[in-house]
Amino acid sequence: MNSEIRALEPKELWNKFADLNAVPRPSKKEERVIAFMKDFGAKLGFETIEDEVGNVIIKKPATKGMEDRVTIVMQSHLDMVHQKNGDTTFDFDTQGIEMHVEGDWVKAKGTTLGADNGLGVATIMAILESTTIEHPAIEALFTIDEETGMTGAMGLKGGLLSGGILLNLDTEEDDEIGVGCAGGIDVTATRTYEEEETPEFKIGYHIVVKGLQGGHSGMQIHEGLGNANKIMNRLLFDGFENFGLRISEIDGGSLRNAIPRESNAVVAIDAIHEEAFNVEMSLLVKAIQTEMKTMEPDLEVVISKVNTPEKIMDLGVQEGITRALYAALNGVFRMSADIPGLVETSNNVARVIIKEGAIKIGCLTRSSVESSKDDLANTLRATFELTGCEVELSGDYPGWTPNMESSILKVLSGLYEKINGEKAHVAACHAGLECGILGQNYPEMEMISFGPTIKGAHSPDERASISSAKKYWNFVLEILKEIPKK
């Protein structure tokens, strides 16, 4: 099946991709692909290093006449996301990826393809193996575990690399040149509270917010999508202000990097206010649906009567936490002053759990500027600490601040326009790339990201464009020729 892949042009790239895809390489189980890459470097006779966390570095001298150019680091990650369709029988731990061609696309048979970031790895392998491609001195950096923690990039120590320019081959649109990304930090607020016996005159209601689109909490945070946790808090706050609503429990959201789609709450209200409560809630729900009808046409709020909960939150804690959730910023905090349309800093109020005397609220704060990320994280920290919460800041990873004046950006922008007759889209993304982390130990290294067009990454619909791969390969070869002198 993979024989048709090996016949594609450029053969150097596709043959190395086929070789790589024969090796099982799930995140956190990279032992076989690490050994494969070390063996590859050793057979070529190049200095090959495995660092203490499992990253592999292969160093190749410059070709004749290119010795005076800046040493470059070519970087991609070895691991791949392993997903398959429900009706596909496949063992990622023992089998190589089965590929086929459909029109202009290379696809896998019912699984992820591994083009993210396998095409980048294959590119570097092909250049290392070539005896005809012109290039400066190369330090090939193959990191591990990018998909589930970026622990390879985090574990790479300073001093192992001497290159002045890093080419990250992990962008998935061939007309895009990446110059920045966001870092992130988890903000987690917790506290305990005393539960009270629910008074006899109270009745119970179950409130469900659902039907929201959800989405990526970085790439889509600016789109105005509804956040179920914020909508739920708005309903609960109004219910308390007008009808003495008391909270028994809340369960809203899921992953930190996902905009919350659903939230559930069990509450109690005074029986005497039941009719007015239903009328008021109906009017408020309609108002929210009207506000969000363009972005969230399927937003639904279901309010149904249930058995009265036995316990409710301490009143003072409830007042404090609902005010804190109202005050906690969700969405865009600051737009970039350097790149039009780029979100610089944002927050996602991702998870709210209140139950049985314990509160836990989880946020993910992102920014491409470290000081701005810290500023927003501290804003959230102060907001929740004012209500008696303990706040933990964890999982901190740095952003990659765009440098619009870098020499390598000028090289790539000029070459792209010369080759293709149009300008490249120079962009930064509001998600994570390894460049920001690598820059911690190599702050003077100029970095740039680009790659071939890949669609549906992280899913069994993943596919790589054949025509784009050829365009990208030619671009890489021209870049290597134009690396600046030392």
Give Cα separations from 438 to 154, 183, 256 (angstroms): 7, 12, 23
Q: State the Cα torsion 11-17-21-25 to the nearest 10°.
A: 170
Give the integer Cα–Cα distance in Å for 94 and 142: 21
Give the integer Cα–Cα distance in Å for 222 and 371: 20
Q: What is the pLDDT of residue 423?
A: 96
Query: Contact 390/190 with Cβ under 8 angstroms?
Result: yes
User: Pick the catalytic residue: 30, 146, 296, 462?
Assistant: 146
Q: What is the pLDDT of residue 1?
A: 54
State yes or no: is 146 an active-site residue.
yes
Q: What is the pLDDT of residue 461?
A: 82
Please state which CATH class domain 3-181+400-481 belongs to: alpha beta
By DSSP bridging, strand 463-465 and strand 105-108 are antiparallel
Beta-bridge partners for 300: 210
User: Can you read off the two tokens belonging to residue 471?
Assistant: 């365009």
Q: Which of 372, 344, 353 is nearest to 428 (CA)?
A: 344
Question: To 10 degrees, what angle do helices 407-420 and 466-481 make?
Answer: 130
- Domain spans, the chain: 3-181+400-481, 184-397
pTM for this one? 0.70
User: Pick the catalytic residue: 79, 139, 145, 176?
Assistant: 79
User: Can you read off the two tokens belonging to residue 224?
Assistant: 């105005």
With helix as H, strand as E and coil as C, how does the chain read? CCHHHHCCCCHHHHHHHHHHHCCCCECCCCHHHHHHHHHHHHHHCCEEEECCCCCEEEEECCCCCCCCECCEEEEEECCECCCECCCCCCCCCCCCCCEEEECCEEEECCECCCHHHHHHHHHHHHHHHCCCCCCCCEEEEEECCCCCCCHHHHHCCCCCCCCCEEEECCCCCCCEEEEEECEEEEEEEEEECCEEECCCCEEEEEEEEECCCCEECCCCCCCCCCCHHHHHHHHHHHHHHHHCCEEEEEEEECCCCEECCCEEEEEEEEHHHHHHHHHHHHHHHHHHHHHCCCCCCCCEEEEEEECCCCEEECHHHHHHHHHHHHHCCCEEEEECCCCCCCEEEEEEEEEEEEECCEEEEEEEEEECCHHHHHHHHHHHHHHHHCCCCEEEEEEEECCECCCCCCHHHHHHHHHHHHHHCCCCEEEEECCCCHHHHHHHHCCCCEEEECCCCEECCCCCCCEEEHHHHHHHHHHHHHHHHCCCEC
Q: What is the pLDDT of residue 218?
A: 83
Taking the chain (486 residues) in consecutive chunks of 10 residues, what is each chunk's mean pLDDT?
A: 89 98 94 98 98 98 98 97 83 94 96 94 98 98 88 95 97 92 92 96 96 82 94 97 95 84 95 95 97 96 97 97 98 90 93 97 92 96 98 88 90 97 91 87 95 86 95 98 96
One fold for 3-181+400-481 and 184-397:
no
CA angle 443, 449, 455 (to 5 degrees): 145
State yes or no: is 68 an active-site residue.
no
Give the integer Cα–Cα distance in Å for 239 and 245: 5
Query: Contact 170/472 with Cβ under 8 angstroms?
Result: no
319: phi then psi, degrees, rounded to nearest 5 = -60, -45
What CATH number does domain 184-397 carry, 3.40.50.150, 1.10.760.10, 3.30.56.10, 3.30.70.360? Answer: 3.30.70.360
Number of residues that make up the chain: 486
